Amino acid sequence: MGSTIYYVRHGETVWNRLQRLQGRQDSPLTLWGVQLAIDYGGQLQRELGSQRDVELVASPMGRTRQTAAIIADVIGLDSDAITVDERVAEHHMGAWAGRSWAELGEELGIDPTRRREWDLRPPGGETRREMLGRARAWLAAPRRRAVTIVVSHGGFSRVLRGAFLGLDLTAMAEIPMHTHGRFYRLEGGQCEEVVAHEAQAPPEDLLG
């Protein structure tokens, strides 16, 4: 049986607005972030139609779980049924979480252009290559339902979409950032953007 994956990034958070790396740390959804989650749910409801064979999966972070709970409410699913999966957590930024790339450059001399290096490990964190391994492991696992809605993060989105499309590392690094206001339909080897809310794109280096 074929399956469809909808990949949703959580709504905007306080640290998103401040352009701070979040990684495995958390900050609350802004009011606009809550509205985005409602809009995602409404667009997903239109996408699903009468389809009820749906699983909702969320990263363990508070911002993703809150977004998933709002989506569940909008589409009529029990929020208690949300599956939390560590494999779809955001890039672990370790000691860099809570900082901006500008601060990391000024205080620690870290060149922001290195952020896409596959083997760069923040202190106490993980490499992007390790994050890609988690994305591939999640994609390889059998889907339990005809439709899976996964609520995760901007950084993880790029590697999961790249892994789904079978891209090499060079091509994967060029995948556009997952901006707020849209999610992705992954089906039949294709990745299609679905716009749920017309929004201004955030800076490219915004992570989380």
Active site residues: 10, 90
Residue type, 123: P
> What is the four-CA torsion angle of 158, 102, 86, 125, rounded to 10 degrees?
120
Show the tokens assigned to 165.
């499309």
State the residue for tokens 């205080």.
107
